[in-house]
Amino acid sequence: MMHNVDQLSIIEAFNSLQGEGRNIGMPCTFLRLAYCNLRCVWCDTKYSWDWQHYDPATEVKDLDINHVAELITQWQNENLVISGGEPLLQQYGIIRLLDYLSESLERSSLATHIVYPFKHVEVETAGTVLPSESLLSRIQLFNVSPKLENSGNSQAKRYKEAVLRKFAELAGYNKAVFKFVVTSSADYAEIDAMVDTLSIPHFAVYIMPEGITEAALTEHLREVAEGAIKRGYRVTTRLHVLLFGNKRGV
């Protein structure tokens, strides 16, 4: 899939808090990009890629980089989370965006409109697309969520060993964490095999229950917490779902 690097295909932008993983509770501006190369059966953002049930003409906005910058800096937040979909499908547009923000800060003494800088940028990814060195130098944290068999994707599509090994290496430098969506304790066999094969540091492994309701999250969390403690993995809930329910843009 080719994209114009001077534009980004976006779904939405909003100001909220990080609901998952290492920085749970941190106030963030979110930029959700369009399109995905996977088809997870439990995906809660199908409006970013499922064109059988959603209209891309309504959902997708192709915006020039400067317009995206104005959109996401209106809240003057220091933290940015780029999500999707699969953001790395548009990684060169992301690089252009971050460079534009950096350049705008240098121009701010002469500008009438100051584009607020982001000090911390996170990218959410399924770990199937290799990030370029240019992107790596601009991102503070990759939240990598390798998809398990419970996602409904074939192994050939969801498991890219070379890509995941790169992120495992970054995890050793605190630049990546691995967040596994689990539906039951049976998922641990697959997680353990991946952690061992890729040499993922245990401190960088987060177990997150699948669910888009408080009841489902609680049920799955109780089932999988003991297994995470036993293995030395960390546990994360989905704080935004507990606070706001399964709503868009929060």
Average pLDDT over residues 45-65: 97
Extents of the domains making up the chain: 7-178
Q: Is 7-178 in CATH node 3.40.50.11900? A: no
Give the torsion sign (CA, 40, 45, 49, 51). Answer: positive
Give the full edge-to-edge strand order of the sheet including 176-182. 61-64, 7-17, 27-33, 79-83, 120-125, 141-144, 176-182, 205-209, 234-235
Over its C-alpha atoms, the chain yields an Rg (Å, rounded) of 18
Before 211, cis peptide (omega within 30)? no
Query: How confident is the model at residue 189, as a pLDDT?
Result: 96
Structure tokens at 194: 């991946």
- Identify the residue with better confidence: 73 or 221: 73
pLDDT band at 103 (very low <50, low <70, confident <90, very high): confident
Average pLDDT over residues 139-164: 97
**Distance separating alpha carbons of residues 210 and 50, to the nearest angstrom:** 19
**Distance separating alpha carbons of residues 169 and 70, to the nearest angstrom:** 34
